[in-house]
Structure 1
Amino acid sequence: MLENADLGKLVLRLTLGGLMLFHGIAKLLHGVGFIEGQLAAHGLPTVLAYGVFIGELLAPLMVILGYQTRIGALLIVFNMLVAIALVHTGQLLSLGQGGGWALELQGFFLLTALSVVFLGPGRYKLKN
């Protein structure tokens, strides 16, 4: 039986960081207007919208590279908690169109990042 926990951690990191990075790139290309609107609707300063670049660009790169991985993963956890609080609280107990949980994607990012916080980067990482 093939067993390599470090390789598994690398796959987990690349999956989490890679998929989250697409969201950050989209916001970089198309702006953070939607997030600004959500913040304003909750009475929060719209300048906080730019924090999404930390959670969806910087943090995923940290996780992918294995540089300060636990901090990067923790930033993603925080990013997802904010996203759920601002946009998705009404869906917490809802089913999606295909019958699964309506927040599967958000749950995936949140719980995968939390796993990386606890597991760490493994052996395949940048030296830090």
Structure 2
Amino acid sequence: MRRRPWIPALIDVVVIVAFAAIGMSSHEESISAPTLATVAWPFLAGGAIGWLVSLAWRNPAAPLRTGLPVWILAAGGGMILRVATGGGFAVPFLVVTLIVLAVLLIGWRALAALVAWRRSHRVSSRSERPVDAR
């Protein structure tokens, strides 16, 4: 993924937009492109700032080095932008936002790291098998 950092960036965008859409539908709001954009943009902007701060393109799938700052800035920065631009705020919404975006933004990276580790471990264990002398 290092050679194609746009793929993890796209995953982050999809995850954040999905978070906004699920939140809207759970509050029985009608979802249209303009309303979804209005709800999602602060969190997308926060995530973009997280990418810049963490230099995410260097290791975009790293759960802690990249995922942690992207999550903190997408959730926290997004909430600050939301409130600063007249959006609503409630402590339960902040808690849900922090938890859900942590699971999504760090979670997909943790899964990708696990898959990469297992693949490399499987390859290295195959090369360490003893050769049959028959």
TM range (shorter): 0.3 to 0.5
- Please state which structure has a larger fraction of its residues in helix: 2
TM-score by length of 2: 0.32
Q: Which has the higher contact order (CA 8 A, sep 6+)?
A: 1
